[in-house]
């Protein structure tokens, strides 16, 4: 059996040294067009994150890290002396970290680079700052590739037989590696397991139909796209061995924020006795939040619902409710697959035990 799985284009890549730039694959144009945005300043990175040109919790963290390297270049171009340069970099860090509120990976990555900014206090060190920030951003990127591989290995061990249902996009486009939930799927396929992946289309921005199906077709893994409303019906057929999704932020008790529709999927999975897995790196956990009720939920523009893909689908005068994420309570999650191991019987103690191991 041929277990070779082709790769897919990377979501983002840094070109050159500390005076280089960030190239982002514009995911809003997929699957129709493969075009890149070349970011040479922070506002371009912030715009790309807000507009979901780059998206997925780990990928926006990586973009935020590289973005801060561009903030140092901006300060140098403006000829700022050290104190105003540091003020400028911190202001840019805030703009990057708050570009989207739910995925904790973004704040986490920017904070990691800010620690280096805090140690730069004179001209010489500020000159070196761009290099040390670039090294750290590269480290976050490379680490994420390794985290995906580890999540894939752990996850493939516990994946039950049968077809797999997933939601949103959690693959190469969303991470620095093969993905989290999709990374588990790819790892299992490489090991010779055979199944079909059912991808919820993921309304309103269609990350499942446009991006997950795009990745799986290229990887030559069978994929079927369904409208989100068909998921409960599919689960009742008994064809699905498990659901597996990613995460944008996981609270200390295991409650998990992920793409809108995940919670409903978990409820339906429980009703039909289908295991429901979350796959996420430790950078997606926010242990400062006791429970999922404290996770900020991004609300996006009404036009995404009322005018999907630019087509007026609801009458003018109608309003929209458009939360980008929802929270799945820990009790609906069979296990959380992390790079450090598998959290079973998900709750405060089991989360702490695996994350601090
Ligand atoms: O709005 P998006 O497309 O950034 O939402 C992405 C998700 O919800 C993913 O499931 C999550 O970030 C995990 S990606 C490995």
CATH code (residue 129): 1.20.120.420
Q: Categorise residue 175: left if φ over 0, alpha if ψ from -120 to 50, beta otherwise.
A: beta
- Asked, for residue 6, whether it belongs to a domain, the answer is no
In this prediction, residue 127 carries a pLDDT of 75
Residues 46 and 68 in one domain: yes
Q: Which of 200, 248, 255, 326 is catalytic?
A: 248
Query: Going by C-beta distance under 8 Å and a sequence separation of 6 or more, which residues neighbour residue 328?
Result: 255, 256, 257, 258, 262, 263, 266, 276, 278, 292
Q: What spacing in Å lies between the alpha carbon of 270 and ligand 1's midpoint?
A: 22
Choice among 100-104, 122-126, 175-179 with the minimum mean pLDDT? 122-126
Whether 286 shows a pLDDT value over 90: the answer reads yes
CA of 298, closest atom in ligand 1: 1
Last residue of one domain, picked from the residues 126, 146, 166: 146
Q: What confidence tier does 82 reach under pLDDT thresholds 50, 70, 90?
A: confident
Q: Which residue minimizes the CA distance to atom 10 of ligand 1? A: 246
Single out the residue in 146, 162, 195 at which a domain terminates: 146
**Residues 223 and 296 reside in one and the same domain:** yes
- For residue 124, the model assigns a pLDDT of 66
Both 218 and 276 in one domain: the answer is yes
Would you state the pLDDT for residue 162?
Answer: 97
Query: What average pLDDT does this structure show over 293-305?
Result: 98
pLDDT in tens, 128-158: 899 999 999 999 999 999 999 999 999 999 9
The arithmetic mean of pLDDT across residues 19-32, rounded, is 98
CA–CA gap between residue 113 and residue 129 (Å, rounded): 10
Distance between Cα 354 and ligand 1 center (Å): 23
In ligand 1, which atom is closest to the CA atom of 182? 15
Task: List pocket residues of ligand 1, CB cut-off 6 Å.
Answer: 52, 55-58, 103, 168, 170, 174-175, 180, 207, 246-248, 258-259, 324
99 and 161 part of one domain:
no
- Examine residue 22 and state whether it is found in any structural domain, yes or no: yes
CA of 299 to the centre of ligand 1 (A): 14
**Whether residue 210 is found in the same domain as residue 319:** yes
Check residue 119 and give its pLDDT: 87
320 and 234 assigned to the same domain: yes
Give a yes or no: residue 340 inside a domain.
yes
Q: Residue 1's pLDDT is what?
A: 64
Which residue in the block uniquely carries the two structure tokens 């499942």? 208
- Ligand 1 atom nearest the C-alpha of 60 is 4
Mutate which of 53, 55, 298 for ligand 1 pocket (most atoms within 8 A of beta carbon): 55
Same domain, 138 and 157: no
Residue 261: domain span: 152-355
Q: In whole numbers, what is the pLDDT of the chain averaged over residues?
A: 97
Say if residue 122's pLDDT is above 90. no
Would you say residue 79 lies in a domain? Answer: yes
* Mean pLDDT value of segment 63-75: 97
Average pLDDT over residues 1-29: 94
CATH classification of the domain holding 337 = 3.40.50.10470
In a domain, 2, yes or no: no
Is 248 annotated in the active site? Answer: yes
Render pLDDT for 160-214 as a digit per residue (tens, 0 to 9).
999 999 999 999 999 999 999 999 999 999 999 999 999 999 999 999 999 999 9
Best mutation site among 53, 57, 181 for ligand 1 pocket (most ligand atoms within 8 Å of CB): 57
For the whole model, what pTM was predicted? 0.97
Structural domain tally of the chain?
2
Check if the beta carbon of residue 30 is closer than 8 Å to that of residue 219.
Answer: no
Query: Looking at ligand 1, which atom is closest to the CA of residue 181?
Result: 15
Residues 141 and 234 both lie in one domain: no
Q: Locate the ligand 1 atom nearest the alpha carbon of residue 324 and give its number.
A: 1
* DSSP collapsed to 3 states, the chain: CCCCCCCCCCCEEEECCCCCEEEEECHHHCCCCCCEEEECCHHHHHHHHHCCCCCCHHHHHHHHHHHHHHHHHHHHHCCCCHHHHHHHHHHHHHHHHCCCCCCHHHHHHHHHHHHHHHCCCCHHHHHHHHHHHHHHHHHHHHHHHHHHHHHHHHHHHHCCCCEEEECCCCCHHHCCCCCCHHHHHHHHHHCCCCCCEEEECCCCCCHHHHHHHHHHHHCCCCEEEECHHHHHHHHHCCCEEEEEECCCEEECCCCEEEECCHHHHHHHHHHCCCCEEEECCHHHEECCCCCHHHCCCCECCCHHHHCHHHCCCCCCCCCCCCECEEEECHHHCCEEEECCEEEECCCHHHHHHHHCC
Determine the distance separating the centroid of ligand 1 and the alpha carbon of 170, expressed in angstroms.
6
**CB burial string 235-266: b at 16+ within 10 A, e below:** beeeebbbbbbbbbbbbbbbbbbbbbbbbbbb
Whether residues 42 and 184 share a domain: the answer is no
Q: Are residues 69 and 197 in the same domain?
A: no
> 176 and 287 share a domain?
yes
pLDDT recorded at residue 327: 99
Which one of 247, 256, 283, 326 would you pick to mutate in the ligand 1 pocket, going by the greatest count of ligand atoms within 8 A of its CB? 247
Same domain, 126 and 163: no
């Amino acid at each position: 059996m041929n277990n070779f799985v082709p790769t897919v284009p990377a979501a983002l890549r840094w070109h050159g040294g500390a005076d280089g730039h960030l190239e982002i694959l514009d995911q809003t144009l997929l699957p129709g067009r493969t075009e890149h945005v070349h970011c040479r300043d922070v506002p371009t990175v912030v715009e790309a994150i807000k507009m979901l040109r780059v998206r997925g919790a780990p990928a926006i963290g990586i973009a935020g890290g590289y973005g801060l390297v561009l903030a140092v270049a901006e300060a140098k171009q403006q000829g700022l002396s050290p104190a105003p340069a540091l003020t400028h970099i911190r202001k840019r860090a805030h703009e990057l970290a708050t570009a989207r509120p739910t995925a904790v990976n973004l704040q986490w990555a920017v904070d990691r680079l800010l620690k280096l900014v805090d140690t730069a206090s004179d001209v010489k060190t500020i000159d070196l700052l761009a290099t040390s920030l670039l090294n750290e951003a590269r480290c976050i990127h490379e680490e994420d590739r390794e985290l995906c591989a580890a999540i894939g290995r752990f996850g493939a061990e516990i994946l039950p037989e049968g077809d797999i249902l997933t939601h949103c996009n959690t693959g190469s486009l969303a991470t620095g590696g093969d993905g989290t939930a999709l990374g588990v799927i790819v790892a299992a396929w490489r090991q010779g397991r055979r199944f079909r992946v059912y991808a919820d289309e993921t309304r309103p921005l269609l990350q499942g139909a446009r991006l997950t199906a795009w990745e799986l077709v290229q990887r030559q893994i069978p994929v079927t796209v369904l409208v989100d409303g068909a998921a409960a019906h599919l689960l009742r057929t008994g064809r699905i061995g498990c659901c597996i999704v990613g995460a944008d932020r996981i609270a200390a008790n295991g409650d998990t924020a992920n793409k809108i529709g995940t919670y409903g999927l978990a409820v339906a999975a429980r009703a039909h006795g289908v295991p429901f897995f979350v796959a996420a790196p430790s950078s997606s956990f926010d242990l400062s939040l006791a429970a999922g009720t404290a996770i900020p939920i991004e609300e996006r523009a009404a036009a995404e619902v009322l005018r999907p893909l630019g087509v007026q689908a609801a009458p003018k005068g109608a309003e929209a409710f458009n939360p980008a994420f929802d929270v799945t309570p820990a009790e609906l999650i069979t296990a959380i697959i992390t790079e450090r191991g598998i959290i079973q019987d998900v709750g405060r103690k089991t989360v702490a035990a695996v994350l601090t191991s």
